[in-house]
Amino acid sequence: MSEVPVLPNDWQLIVGLEVHVELATKTKMFSASANRFGDEPNTNIDPVTLGLPGALPVLNQHAIELAMRIGLALNCKVQPCTFHRKNYFYPDLPKAYQITQYDHPLNVDGHLMLPGDVRIGIERAHLEEDTGKSTHFGGSSGRIHGSDYSLLDYNRAGVPLVEIVSRPDIRTSEQARQYVAELRSILLAVGASDAKMEEGSMRCDVNVSVHKPGTPFGTRCEIKNVNSIRSVGRAIDYESRRQVDLIESGGTIRQETRHWDDSTGRTETLRTKEDADDYRYFLEPDLVPLVPDPAWIEAVRAALPVLPAARRKALAELCGVDKDGESAIVVVERGQDDYVRAVISAGGDARRAVIYVQQAFAEQGAAPKVPAKDLAALTILERDAKVTSTQAKTLLTDLIESGGGDVVAMANKRGFEALDTAALEAMVDAAIAAEPGAWQKYCDGEEKALGALVGAIMKSSKGKADGKAATALLQARRG
Amino acid sequence: MQKLAEIVAGVSNGTLSASAVLEEHLKRISTRESEINAFNLVTADQARLDAAKIDADIKADKKVGALAGVPIALKDNMCTRGVETTCSSKILQGWKPPYDATVVTKLRNAGAVIVGKTNLDEFAMGSSTENSAFGPTKNPHDITRVPGGSSGGSAAAVAAGFAAASLGSDTGGSIRQPAALCGVVGVKPTYGTVSRYGLVAFASSLDQIGPFTSDVRDAATLLEVISGHDPMDSTSIPQSALSLVSVLDQGVKGMRIGRVTDLPEGCEPDVLARLEAAFDALRSAGATIVDVKLPSLQYCLTAYYLIAPAEASSNLARYDGVRYGNRVDAADLNAMYAATREAGFGEEVKRRIMLGTYALSAGYYDAYYGKALKVRRLISDDFARAYKDVDTILTPTSPSTAFKFGSKTDNPLAMYLCDVFTIPTNLAGHPAMSVPFGVGADKMPVGIQVLASTLGEQAMFKVAAELERAS
Amino acid sequence: MAEKISQETVIKVSRLARLSLTSNEAEKMTSQLSGMLEHFRDIDALDLADVEPMTRPYPLKNVLREDVVAPSLDRDEVLGQAPAAESGRFRVPPTIGFDV
Ligand SMILES: [Mg+2]
Ligand SMILES: [Zn+2]
């Protein structure tokens, strides 16, 4: 992970995120039209989706339930709520208003924890409907400005969305990336969304401002179209730097919406606050209030799976690894922590189990095909120095390819057996004799020279030597 | 002219043919429609097929519905699959919806024969049917006078015998006022009783569909068919269809009827005289007349003309020339929007969109829309107090009988005052209906309005039936 | 209640509503809206501080629908009603000179 550029002259970064996620329902927020990505244009449409005269919205119960899962997973209060109309004209908005939640959203006042126990407040997570999709044609750029015409597909219109609004608690672009990654893993864990940023089922708007400690927050700019976790970091780094440079050269920040261009690595003005619409919010008269009763909320809460943070912590404690480290994060994200537990139950070495799974099971999904007892046997073979770590890697590959098997037999078949210490000592002698220059350099303190010596040992042992053990012996000889 | 009940009875027992009934109505249409202009579209060909199907079903001893063979006209703001639905607006002229409104489905299932789509004030905004893009409808009793509005075409169609019944929509009086002016029965049911799915929205929290018929029994029959819960409308009350016909002969003995002592001013004396006659009739039928006060009634017009346009400004924003309806081409999107809406909407619709947009916009919301919602609560509270003492309330339906064309078109406020007695029930969501009760000094029909509390349709129909017997 | 509506406000509102008024229309609209708003001042006299706004006539809550798919409308039928369509989609003029 790249180093975060620190802002010069004590400038402090303030970031808040608005993340839209499409819910994994079968139908739309307010109608029985299918919620499906990638279909032929305008084949998932009905009177409600198209905003036909006379069409009326009816809430999707499953969408509410998924939104409640999100709220509860983010430690929000789930409360009685209402829907409003947000009025503005745009061709991807069929009714010329978006049905959204305004002063009484479903989920409020939650938080999410980042590595290092950093707490990011969640202001709200409210329900709303997605817009259709415009594609711009003609002109030179293929961009919206300068196009000749646009075509509209309403398959996405009315897809249920939850908009998760963080408090401006994020202080570095690294935290922003962690926030999005953690949010994504929570959404996946609770089954609320497939959260695919590349397909737009999870979309980030980033609010960036800068200030000096002890002074009020500066004017913020909202950055749209940030389509990957990496872009979130890049956009923040660029935008915060732009704001500082502008202020330091005597300029002022205008409140505006900016567009992130991933190819140029820059943000550009999309629209300024002055020409922002007056949305004329008012209570949606075609819908009635949603008042989830406590029993429903508790049933949803009770059915929530253990969340990624808790699973990472449990796994880390079990395996003796860092809870914020790569292996805990990756294994939990893939849902393979139960498998690691099974390997340990089968007598496997805990630390080796989690690391094997992290390194070799990327393609295996939550239920790897290798029987837990076979992987357990392999970790023991390595722990007891019956095979070297290099040999263990080879056997792991064999196990995955064969979908399991007797690892001792596999080791025998490959002719793997760890060398005894006497044999290794002899090989060390031989290596020092064969590479006197390297030995001399190593004795003079040049650590790099070790490579040639170990290489020679590995060569003469035909790979059977344990590199770590050989290194230890060489170090002991040097004294 | 045949009543709905007679047609259903005759067709069902084979003494009348649905096709013959239809032809009689089509004949009256061909004779008088050119002067009345009740219809935007007469669907004679499809109606003939539907009537023939009913007759065939009867012959084959198949079960037919509660409206078998009844020729019915629909206000042209209810969606009919594949059949032009215009709201009497240029912006929707030619639009053929890909779906049926719930009421249309119910009518079809009940064996009704839909004869056509009736004229209205554009998007139901008006009280005279003069605001139609396709020319005004004339009052069948005197073609120099308006039929009322906005469901003027539906009222005129029944009054002229073009259909045995029709459906209208009522947002501030748009069923009851034209019913009164045309001398027919018109009902606005409790909000949430009849599905709004497929009714082109004017003001969503006020709109209700209801029947026009030539008598109270027919109105009860038709309302029983179209009412009931619809899962496609979130504001639909989850209860079964209304039961009304069974109460019509129960009389009003022992009922308490409210007389509003602080009725807004401006009602014609001959209309007030008919109201007194109505109270007399009910009193002699055994009802008690009780004075009630509705002090907030005077603020209804203000609340209504802020709330309805606010909702309308949002509901009518979808007419943007993108997905359906008409477009005026322009070089860029924004110019296309403006040109389309400028050419597509009439003056009254634009006026209300402007008023509503203003009432909702930042900086004015609290002063206008927000306040209007509070006044709406006051009115509702007034009614709640009054209905502790009475079962129904009687008022005139309209301050005057049918007026002459053009007499109020220059002054929007004067036109708005036509709805002063009908608006309060829309704000409260209550049922109300207009029953013909004699004529005014000009020999034009006068309607008496019977109001009741939420889901008080049975009490309302008992009183209406009694008034009908007395008239 | 608010001050008298100005023609400038009327023009601003007409833009919000995507209605292009000619200056004649704007003038007429200003005078008509002023007249109405003047009439609507009658409610200024009411003390509404403790009154709960009424937004809907019948107190329903939790009206929900099962998550079950119904067939789509026929695309050709729908696009056949559109002012302009191309390649299975609705066609609109380019977006220039205003918000996206
Ligand atoms: Mg937002
Ligand atoms: Zn949003």
For the segment A101-119, what is each residue's pLDDT rounded down to a tens digit?
999 999 999 999 998 889 9
- The whole-angstrom separation of Cα B294 and Cα A3 is 73
pLDDT of residue B203 exceeding 70 = yes
Asked whether the beta carbons of A26 and A62 are under 8 A apart, the reply is: yes
Q: A165 CA distance to ligand 2 centroid (A)?
A: 9
Query: Does domain B4-247 bear CATH number 3.30.540.10?
Result: no
Band the pLDDT of C97: cuts 50, 70, 90: very low
Report yes or no: A41 and C86 within 8 Å, Cβ to Cβ.
no
pLDDT-above-90 percentage for chain A = 74
Sort out which chain B residues have CB atoms less than 8 A from A87's CB and list them.
313-314, 317, 360
**Res B268 pLDDT > 70:** yes
What spacing in Å lies between the alpha carbon of A427 and ligand 1's midpoint?
Answer: 68
Higher-pLDDT residue of B265 and B453 is: B453
Which chains contact C through at least 3 pairs of Cβ atoms less than 8 Å apart?
A, B
Q: pLDDT tens across B105-119, in order?
A: 999 999 999 999 999
| Residue B431 pLDDT | 98
Query: How confident is the model over B327-352, as pLDDT tens digits?
Result: 999 999 999 999 999 999 999 999 99
Interface contact A282, partner B, CB < 8 A: yes
Say whether residue A288 is in contact with chain B using an 8 A CB cutoff.
yes
Interface of A with C in 143-162 (CB under 8 A): 144-154
- In contact, A13 and A172? CB cutoff 8 Å: yes
Parallel/antiparallel/unpaired status of strands B165-170 and B71-75: parallel
DSSP state of A44: S
List the structure tokens of B213.
Answer: 């018929």
Q: How does residue C64 score in pLDDT terms, banded at 50, 70 and 90?
A: very high
Interface contact flag, A54 B232, Cβ < 8 Å: no
Amino acid residing at B461: F
What pLDDT is attached to residue A20? Answer: 98
Q: Is the pLDDT score of A424 beyond 90?
A: no
Residue C99, pLDDT score? 43
Chain B CB contacts of A153 below 8 Å: none
* Ligand nearest to the backbone CA of A84: 2
pTM given for the model: 0.92
- pLDDT, tens digit, for every residue of A440-470? 999 988 888 888 898 888 887 777 777 888 8
Q: How far apart are CA A14 and CA A255, in angstroms?
A: 14
Which tens digit of pLDDT belongs to each residue from B390-436? Answer: 999 999 999 999 999 999 888 888 888 889 999 999 999 999 999 99
Query: By the 8 A CB rule, do A101 and A280 touch?
Result: no
Identify the nearest ligand to the CA of A17 by its number.
1
- State the Cα–Cα distance between residues A389 and A378, nearest whole angstrom: 10
**Residue of higher predicted confidence among A420 and A115:** A115
Contact A33 C70 (CB under 8 A): yes
Interchain CB distance below 8 Å, B314 and A47: no
- pLDDT for A447 equals 86
B75 is an active site residue: yes
Please say if B434 is a catalytic residue: no
Specify whether the CB–CB gap between B248 and B220 falls below 8 A: yes
Instruction: Give the CA radius of gyration of chain C.
Output: 23
Distance of alpha carbon A43 from alpha carbon A197, whole angstroms:
23
Confidence at A58, pLDDT banded by 50, 70, 90: very high
How many angstroms does the Cα of residue B97 sit away from the middle of ligand 2? 30
What is the pLDDT confidence band of residue C100, given thresholds at 50, 70 and 90? very low
Q: Does C19 touch chain A (CB under 8 A)?
A: no
Characterize the bridge pairing of strands B39-42 and B113-118. antiparallel
> Which chain C residues are within 8 Å of B358, Cβ to Cβ?
5, 9, 13, 33
Tell me whether residues A278 and B362 touch, CB distance under 8 A: yes
Report percent pLDDT > 90 for chain B.
95
- The alpha carbon torsion through B367, B370, B374, B380 (nearest 10 deg) reads 130
Q: Which two tokens stand for residue B72?
A: 């019915």
| Catalytic residue check, B284 | no
More confident residue, A274 or A160: A160
CB contact B231 to A (< 8 Å): yes
Identify which of A46, A151, A285 has the shortest CB distance to residue C90.
Answer: A151
Residue A169 to residue A171: CA distance in whole angstroms: 6
User: What is the model's pLDDT at position A12?
Assistant: 95
**Domain ranges, ordered by start, for chain A:** 12-302, 308-413, 421-478
Residues 254 through 273 of chain A touching chain C, CB cutoff 8 Å:
270-271
C100 has a chain B CB within 8 A of its CB: no
Q: Which residues are registered as beta bridge partners of A221?
A: A208, A256
Domains of chain C: 1-48 (1.10.20)
Which tens digit of pLDDT belongs to each residue from A163-216? 999 999 999 999 999 999 999 999 999 999 999 999 999 999 999 999 999 999
Interface check for C81 against chain A (CB to CB < 8 A): the answer is: no
Distance CA A124, CA B241 (A): 41
The answer to whether residue A292 neighbours chain B at the CB level (below 8 Å) is no
Residue C1 banded pLDDT, cuts 50, 70, 90: very low
A400 vs A365: CA distance, rounded Å:
13
Distance A20 CA to ligand 2 centre (A): 6
Q: Which of B299, B358, B430 to mutate to test the interface with C (most CBs of C within 10 A)?
A: B358
Which pLDDT value is given to residue A1?
Answer: 40
User: Residue B337 is nearest to which of C18, C53, C77, comparing CB atoms?
Assistant: C18
Q: Which helix (H) or strand (E) holds B450?
A: strand B445-452
Q: Amino acid identity of B8?
A: V
B357: part of which helix (H) or strand (E)?
helix B347-360
Catalytic residue among B128, B150, B214, B453: B150
- B331 has a chain C CB within 8 A of its CB: yes
Confidence of residue B131 (pLDDT cuts 50, 70, 90): very high
Catalytic residue among B17, B75, B117, B313: B75
Q: Which listed residue (B89, B174, B296, B453) is catalytic? A: B174
**Closest Cβ–Cβ partner in A44, A88, A150 for C72:** A44
Name the residue of chain C whose CA is nearest to B413's CA.
C36
- Report the gap between the CA of C14 and the closest CA in chain A (Å): 12
The answer to whether residue A297 neighbours chain C at the CB level (below 8 Å) is no
- In this predicted structure, what is the pLDDT of residue A5? 55
What is the dihedral angle through the alpha carbons of A93, A99, A100, A102, rounded to the nearest 10 degrees?
120
pLDDT value at position A2? 42
Q: Which residues of chain C are within 8 Å of residue B324 when distances are taken between CB atoms?
A: 81-83
B92, B196, B365: residue with CB nearest A56: B196
Under CATH, which number does the domain A421-478 receive?
Answer: 1.10.10
Q: Which of residues 142-181 of B touch C (CB under 8 A)?
A: none
| Contact across the interface for B357 and A280, Cβ inside 8 Å | yes
> What burial class does residue B438 get, using C-beta atoms within 10 Å of its C-beta: 0-12 exposed, 13-18 middle, 19+ buried?
middle
As a whole number, mean pLDDT of residues A374-393 equals: 89
Q: Are A61 and C65 a contacting pair, CB within 8 Å?
A: yes
The ipTM is 0.97
Mean pLDDT across B219-234? 98
Average pLDDT over all residues of chain B: 97
Note the residue count of chain C: 100
Position A287 scores a pLDDT of: 98
Residues 300-319 of B with CB under 8 A from A: 310-311, 313-314, 317-318
Contact list, B190 vs chain C (CB under 8 Å): 58
Q: What is the mean pLDDT of chain C?
A: 91
Between CA A30 and CA A21 the distance in angstroms is 16
Of A52, A94, A97, the CB nearest to B314: A97
* Res B369 pLDDT > 90: yes
What does each C-alpha distance from A147 to B333, C92, C94 come to in angstroms? 11, 11, 6
Burial B29-67 (b: 16+ CB within 10 A, else e): beebbeebbbbbbbbbeebbebbebbbebbeeeeebbbb
- Asked if the model's pLDDT at residue B372 lies above 60, the reply is yes
Q: Is B354 on the interface with C (CB under 8 A)?
A: yes
The predicted structure's pLDDT at residue A338: 94
* Mean pLDDT, chain A, whole residue set: 92
Q: Does C83 touch chain A (CB under 8 A)?
A: no
B436-440: Cβ within 8 A, 24+ apart: B436/B179, B436/B180, B436/B183, B436/B184, B436/B185, B436/B468, B436/B471, B437/B274, B437/B277, B437/B278, B437/B467, B437/B470, B437/B471, B438/B274, B438/B277, B438/B471, B439/B401, B440/B268, B440/B270, B440/B271, B440/B274, B440/B400, B440/B401
Q: Which two tokens stand for residue C81?
A: 């009603």
The C-alpha angle with vertex B90 and arms to B85 and B92, in degrees rounded to 5, equals: 35
